[in-house]
Structure 1
């Protein structure tokens, strides 16, 4: 699914060039569930942005689903990203004036899908995330955990091969966080979707199969989680 070789990223500042990623090597197999951990400033968010094709590396190679994304022009990259990747963010990023159905269907608007078909697919996604019948609600009428489920439904609407989740439980209480992570686990195991998440919380990272620790712009080490050890037994 993902092959990265000697990936670097640096930014030019008034004080000179600042290196954020310093030669990342990483392979992620299809169907993997991977957690990325690291202190603030370690480079994990920059790595996540590059994985999501939201930012370009300064050097190295990044292949996603067999495609070298650096060879794609701006329009081709946007189309590729829209069909391959679903994004879930800490802040939900829902449009408050739109219904839940319209929020979920938004990626289909950009894809030119007719409204009737968009609504049908969006309602199917609501059922999948356990919110059947909530389609006409607006984000301010539901809980934070339910809003994150809507965000996950939106990420799933184009049937992505990869979900990138950036601190998806950061605004949620413990019980709701567990429910959201169980949903990610189900999507990974049942639907075979590759999931990569960034988190500061070790108990959340344990839902993944492997954890990579990023430090000073490099992968410090990679380890299997308790869940992976149980699977291997």
Structure 2
């Protein structure tokens, strides 16, 4: 299998008035194409910082991060942005939809940055909305649909550039149990049927259970990494 993510000896330090804070302490991990990985850990364990680095939103202090064989540590901000837009789709807890734009326009936004013409943007956005069951709502504003539907729009936006990797940060955090299950089923289908690699951060064991691999962070290090069903009792 192709390596989508390969990280070696990764560290991340922040500098505050109180001194240096080491958030990630020598992380090593490889994630191959088609994996579905859940990342868990207590608050302050480093998982959010790790996800920011995975998403090329932040850079490590030291170590190496290869994203689809591209050495991110050697890239400029502009090159990182291009790589991010071509390879990664993001899904956030807060949906991050533009409230005054239609669902079609929200989904098409990454295509604007990719330089796709307006007609193709609209057609691709319509097709992706159809794939998440919202083709009838394309002209609606985000405020006119439910939270679960908004998260489906966010997933559609993440998919519109045909990414190799989806990074999802607490994607069910603002949803009720039933809607959370529907969203996680959608992620499972994208992984199993489309072969999209998914890395998901969650605090909830029942959400992590949808993944096939579970990585648990403690104090800036990976404490456990293995098949979800074998690790769930230990993490809980």
TM-score norm. by structure 1 comes to 0.96
- 8 Å contact from structure 1 (residues 208, 227) kept in 2: no
Q: Which residue of 95, 99, 104 corresponds with 2:102? A: 99
Tell me the residue number matched to 1:184.
187
2:88 equivalent to 1:85: yes
Between the aligned partners of 1:39 and 1:16, the Cα distance in structure 2 is: 23
2:25 equivalent to 1:17: no
- Residue segments in structure 1 that go unaligned for 5+ positions in a row: 229-233
Between the aligned partners of 1:227 and 1:85, the Cα distance in structure 2 is: 29
Counterparts of 1:171-210 in structure 2 under 5 Å? 171-210=174-213
Tell me the residue number matched to 2:149.
146
TM-score norm. by structure 2 comes to 0.95
Describe the SS at the equivalent of 1:133: helix
Shift of 1:92: 0.1
Shift of 1:37: 0.1
Shift of 1:223: 2.6
2:131 equivalent to 1:128: yes
- Residue segments in structure 2 that go unaligned for 5+ positions in a row: 232-236
2:232 equivalent to 1:219: no
Shift of 1:76: 1.2
Describe the SS at the equivalent of 2:136: coil
2:155 equivalent to 1:155: no
Superimposed CA distance per residue, residues 155-198 of structure 1 (whole angstroms, 9 cap, x where no aligned partner): 00100000000000000000000000000000001111000000
Tell me the residue number matched to 1:6.
9
Q: Residues 227 and 15 from structure 1, CA distance in 2 versus in 1: closer, same or farther, beyond 3 angstroms?
A: closer
2:41 equivalent to 1:35: no
Describe the SS at the equivalent of 1:23: strand
- 8 Å contact from structure 1 (residues 90, 169) kept in 2: yes
- 8 Å contact from structure 1 (residues 209, 227) kept in 2: no
Tell me the residue number matched to 1:231.
none
Between the aligned partners of 2:6 and 2:135, the Cα distance in structure 1 is: 38
2:79 equivalent to 1:76: yes
Shift of 1:227: 9.6
Instruction: Compute the RMSD of aligned alpha carbons.
Output: 1.3
- 8 Å contact from structure 1 (residues 100, 138) kept in 2: yes
Superimposed CA distance per residue, residues 189-211 of structure 1 (whole angstroms, 9 cap, x where no aligned partner): 11110000000000000000011
Tell me the residue number matched to 2:234.
none
Deviates more, 1:20-29 or 1:109-118: 109-118
